[in-house]
């Protein structure tokens, strides 16, 4: 993998591996784990060939992919979490019913990590999958900060 595609703020954690000793955390704004400009159309061709894109309009296209990796040691159906920023990017890159787009959001679900039955499931265009009921999003967890820390009502 070209390291510049790996745009995660935690990528520096693999420095103990000989191949990545000099790797630093991503210095820019993180949008997804991997940002891949498919300049040669290779990934798009593979996704068309495997049936992820059913429209022949995708043949020869070269979009930018935002790939979010969600891994688990459990089965593929175990819940995972997305951030508000990830959710918003999913919504911003929703694909049209017909035709193509310049950007594609993809969740790569790695399951049974480290086990004999390890696998990968791809969720292309999760915002559309949400609308179809194939992915269910729940917002039942919130980060809470006391408001008095930020406003004119700050308590001394």
**125-135 pLDDT, tens digit each:** 999 999 998 88
29 pLDDT higher than 60: yes
* Contact call for residues 7 and 35 (beta carbons, < 8 A): yes
pTM score of the predicted model: 0.77
Residues 45 and 17 in one domain: no
In this structure, is residue 148 part of a structural domain? no
Phi then psi for 149, rounded to 5 degrees? -75, -20
| Structural domain of 15 | 1-29
The closest of 93, 78, 84 to 124, measured between CA atoms, is: 93
pLDDT higher than 60, residue 93: yes
Q: Is 138 exposed, middle or buried (0-12, 13-18, 19+ CB in 10 A)?
A: exposed
- pLDDT above 70 covers a percentage of the chain that reads 77
Residues 13 and 40 in one domain: no
What pLDDT is stored for residue 43 in this prediction?
A: 95
């Amino acid at each position: 993998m070209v390291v510049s595609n790996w745009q995660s703020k935690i990528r520096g954690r693999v420095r103990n591996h000989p191949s990545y000793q000099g790797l630093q955390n991503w210095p820019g704004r993180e949008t997804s784990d991997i940002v891949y400009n498919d300049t040669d159309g290779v990934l798009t061709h593979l996704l068309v060939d495997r049936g992820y894109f059913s429209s022949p309009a995708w043949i020869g296209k070269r979009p930018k992919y935002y790939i979010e990796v969600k891994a688990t040691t459990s089965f593929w159906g175990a819940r995972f979490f997305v951030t508000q920023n990830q959710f918003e990017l999913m919504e911003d890159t929703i694909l049209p019913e017909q035709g193509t787009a310049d950007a594609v959001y993809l969740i790569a679900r790695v399951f049974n990590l480290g086990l004999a039955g390890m696998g990968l499931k791809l969720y292309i265009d999760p915002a559309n999958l949400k609308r179809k009921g194939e992915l269910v999003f729940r917002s039942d967890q919130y980060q809470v900060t006391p408001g008095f820390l930020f406003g004119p009502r700050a308590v001394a």
